[in-house]
Amino acid sequence: MEKISINTIKRMKSDGEKITALTAYDFNMAKLLDEVGLEIILVGDSVNMVVYGEENTLSADIWMILRHVKAVSRVVQRALVVADMPFMSYQPSIRDAVRNAGFFLSHGGAKGVKLEGGIEFAPTIQKIVESGIPVMGHLGMLPQSVNKYGGFKVQGKTEEQKEYLVESALALEEAGCFSIVLEKIPAELGEKITKTVSIPTIGIGAGPACDGQILVVNDMLGFFEGMNLKFVRKYANLNDIIRQAVREYSKDVKSGAFPSKDESF
């Protein structure tokens, strides 16, 4: 079994093979995603919203992410496990950024980290990479900057934003990122960035031209009802399946049909 490394991910772009990625936060989900054969499993700070019910990602901290990174890394055999660096774990200083990024590898078992930010984070990324830690960049709509945008709004619509994002993608490549997540930008810009950089782009609401795609697993499985996102395709409706199962359980308990003799000692 070939273990996925950052070299595999980079090679897939040159081979024209699409990269598949999803988030996971717990042992069982990570096991399933790995068995199916996804290349990247991201322990996203989206855990703060889809598991803990917060309205954004800002209150996720390194302890929360570490706990989930450990649960995921423990079981994954093949996929590349990437830990998302939470808000304020890398912004205050390069020193904090390197130390906290390293923590996810040394204590969490991740194989790389992801952080949000453009050209202004290139020196931070460079230092993390120089410390031996693979970095996935993240450009476009950055959820940790939701208050700056005044909502989770599409980015890269103006000429100025487009220029900034292309310039940032090049700076992130130069700083040593092994790939870049592009979130919620026009498909045309997703294509332009993908053609401009030689490292893979992983899109989420960035159109079909990206080298790979990522979604929040709870969104694509219909296991989260917080948001109705245009770029999410629902491949299942787990909420309905769970509601139905719980209804039947409740009915059986009330009627005395559960537990049966066979289910008793």
CB atoms within 10 A of CB 217: 25
Residue 12 touches ligand KIV, criterion: CB under 6 A: no
**Which one from 183, 191, 248, 263 is the annotated catalytic residue?**
183
Residue 168 touches ligand KIV, criterion: CB under 6 A: no
Query: CA-based Rg of the chain, rounded to a whole angstrom?
Result: 20
- Give Cα 37 distance to the centre of its chain: 16
Give the single-character DSSP code of 136: E
Out of 24, 41, 44, 121, the only residue in the binding site for ligand KIV (CB under 6 A) is 44
Q: Whole-angstrom Cα distance, residue 72 to residue 81?
A: 8
Comparing CB distances to ligand KIV, the nearer of 23 and 168 is 23
Residue 39 touches ligand KIV, criterion: CB under 6 A: no
Tell me which stretch binds ligand KIV (CB under 6 A): 44-52, 86-94, 167-175, 244-252.
44-52
Shortest distance (Å) from residue 149 CB to ligand KIV: 15
**For 117-122, which contacts have Cβ atoms below 8 Å and span 24 or more sequence positions?**
117/91, 117/142, 118/164, 118/165, 118/167, 118/168, 118/171, 118/172, 119/164, 119/167, 119/168, 119/171, 119/172, 121/90, 121/172, 122/171, 122/172, 122/174, 122/175
Out of 34, 39, 45, 173, the only residue in the binding site for ligand KIV (CB under 6 A) is 45
Active site residue 183: yes
Residue 84 touches ligand KIV, criterion: CB under 6 A: yes
Please check whether residue 21 is in contact with residue 29, taking contact to mean a CB–CB distance below 8 angstroms: no
Out of 79, 85, 139, 204, the only residue in the binding site for ligand KIV (CB under 6 A) is 204
Out of 6, 69, 122, 181, the only residue in the binding site for ligand KIV (CB under 6 A) is 181
The residue ranges that bind ligand KIV (CB under 6 A) are: 23, 42, 44-46, 84, 181, 204, 214, 216
